[in-house]
């Protein structure tokens, strides 16, 4: 396996295909780099260099007890970009991965970054607070913690249905997509995945978004049952200096799988604009 070493010695797995302009993918929770298969295969065939990594605690990366926090995740991404000496990269983040790339730019700057894409992403803030009254209440995330702690295997099976909006009347259910979601989730470690719930629910990314001055494409499904566009992407574009929002009618949180052809076309148009 190909890995880089983070500053605390953690081994971070990545895959690196092609030799063109780099596009770096950061996955959502509780998945791994395989969540980007459709996008990587497509863009590699269009002449781009595509790189995706497993967040620490997930997939094929190490599962340390330490460093399961957003700042360290951003530092791990910095270590990857530095180790591969990537320039003029486009960073693409889904869900929690969108927060990760925003925090990377807020924390490390944009010297290596030409543009960014946020897909169903959690910034600026998911939780309900006096300053964010439309956010999700704490008991939603407590329920997720309880589900992971009590029986994460069953919890991930249950979560996959609304993730892809397969629970909607008339939905065309893909058993393969459900199985892949569960397999990716179970390939990670419970400790890191449990800690992640705080990182995507209680972190404020507002200042990170303000630091994202590069062209940024924001994509979101209008039927996203896990990360509401009204509470995230529609707010995020208010803080982005050069952001463009596109929503997909009926689109789920699993846009990159269910709407892969549309997402791929939008990514290619953005990358070649």
Which of the 8 DSSP states describes residue 68? -
Q: How remote is the C-alpha of 219 from its chain's centroid?
A: 12
Q: How many CA atoms lie within 13 A of 8 on its CB side?
A: 14
Reply yes or no on whether 58 is catalytic.
no
Contact 87, 189 (CB under 8 A): no
Reply yes or no on whether 88 is catalytic.
no
Q: Which of 224, 228, 233, 252 is catalytic?
A: 224
Reply yes or no on whether 19 is catalytic.
no
Q: Which of 26, 54, 253, 266 is catalytic?
A: 253
Letter string b/e over residues 168-180, b meaning 16 or more CB atoms within 10 A of that residue's CB: eeeeeeeeebbeb
Backbone angles phi, psi at 79, to 5 degrees: -60, -40
Tokens of 90: 């486009």
Q: Which of 26, 27, 62, 95 is catalytic?
A: 95
Q: How many residues does the chain have?
A: 273
| Catalytic residue ranges | 95, 224, 253
């Amino acid at each position: 396996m190909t890995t880089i070493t983070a500053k605390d010695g953690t081994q971070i797995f990545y895959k690196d295909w092609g030799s063109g302009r780099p596009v770096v993918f950061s996955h959502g929770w509780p998945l791994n780099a395989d969540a980007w298969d459709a996008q990587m295969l497509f863009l590699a065939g269009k002449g781009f260099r595509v790189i995706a990594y497993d967040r620490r605690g997930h997939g094929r990366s190490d599962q340390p007890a330490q460093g399961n926090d957003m700042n360290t995740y951003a530092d791990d991404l910095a270590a990857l970009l530095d180790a591969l000496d990537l320039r003029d990269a486009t960073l693409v983040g889904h869900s929690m991965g969108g927060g990760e790339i925003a925090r990377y730019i807020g924390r490390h700057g944009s010297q290596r970054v030409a543009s960014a894409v946020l897909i169903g992403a959690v910034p600026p803030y998911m939780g309900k607070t006096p300053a964010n009254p439309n956010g999700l209440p704490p008991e939603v995330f407590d329920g997720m913690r309880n589900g992971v702690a009590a029986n994460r295997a069953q919890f991930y099976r249950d979560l996959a249905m609304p993730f892809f909006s397969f629970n909607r009347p008339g939905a065309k259910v893909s058993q393969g997509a459900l199985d892949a979601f569960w397999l990716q989730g179970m390939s990670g470690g419970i400790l890191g995945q449990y800690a992640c719930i705080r990182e995507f629910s209680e972190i404020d990314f507002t200042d990170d978004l303000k630091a994202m001055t590069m062209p940024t494409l924001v994509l979101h499904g209008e039927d996203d049952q896990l990360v509401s566009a009204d509470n995230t992407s529609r707010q995020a574009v208010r803080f982005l200096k050069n952001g463009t929002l596109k929503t997909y009618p009926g689109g789920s949180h699993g846009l990159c799988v269910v709407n892969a052809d549309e997402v791929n076309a939008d990514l290619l148009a953005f990358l070649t604009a």
